[in-house]
Amino acid sequence: MIAKVGRRVGVLHLVSGGSRQRPTAEAARDLYDGLWFRTARALAERDGGAWFILSARHGLLHPEERVQPYADRLEGRSAAALRAWTGLAAARMEQLLPEADRILLLCDREPPPELVRWLQVRCPEVEIPLAGLKVAAQVLHMTRALDRAPDPRLAVGAA
């Protein structure tokens, strides 16, 4: 079991996992191997601070947590099933997430509204910078962000 990060962070990245996965158990950071996830991971790691993965099966994963590949997806789930998933993710977040001044949700699809509301109650600033963009535009946006200098507000320990 991965322990909760004990310190407060300036920014926390929550990155959607992906449907493209390696065929064997891996650390979550290495399980997802699609271009979208690799780009989002690079951005989260470059910006520093804590980052975690939103998983359709597990709710939330620490990047070092070892997991088996799976075929679960959030798209197509009923409203009740999405609420249940949000409950699972929220329970894992209570266990694992550090307090943060700002949360960046890097999602390839619109996150469940219940998840966004849950995060907004716990954090003063929740951003979804890729909202409204198609996947190709999201990758381009993140790639351009990687080409720029990191935002100093995102540095480890920044408030």
pLDDT by residue for the chain (159 residues), tens digit each?
Answer: 344 556 788 899 999 998 899 999 999 999 999 999 999 999 999 987 799 999 999 999 999 999 999 999 888 899 999 999 999 999 999 999 999 999 999 999 999 999 999 999 999 899 999 999 999 999 999 999 999 876 654 443 333
In a domain, 23, yes or no: yes
Here the tokens at position 105 are 């949700």
Q: Does residue 27 lie within any of the structural domains? A: yes
pTM above 0.75, yes or no: yes
> How many distinct structural domains can be found in the chain?
1
Q: Token pair for residue 22?
A: 């390696």
| Domain enclosing residue 33, as ranges | 9-150
Q: How far apart are CA 28 and CA 21, in angstroms?
A: 10
Q: Is residue 1 one of the residues assigned to a domain? A: no
State the CB neighbour count (10 A cutoff) for residue 25.
Answer: 11
Considering the domain boundaries, does residue 129 fall inside one? yes
Q: What is the DSSP track for 23-53?
A: SS-EEHHHHB-SHHHHHHHHHHHHH-SEEEE
Q: Is residue 3 domain-resident?
A: no
Residues 6+ apart with CB under 8 A from 6: 98
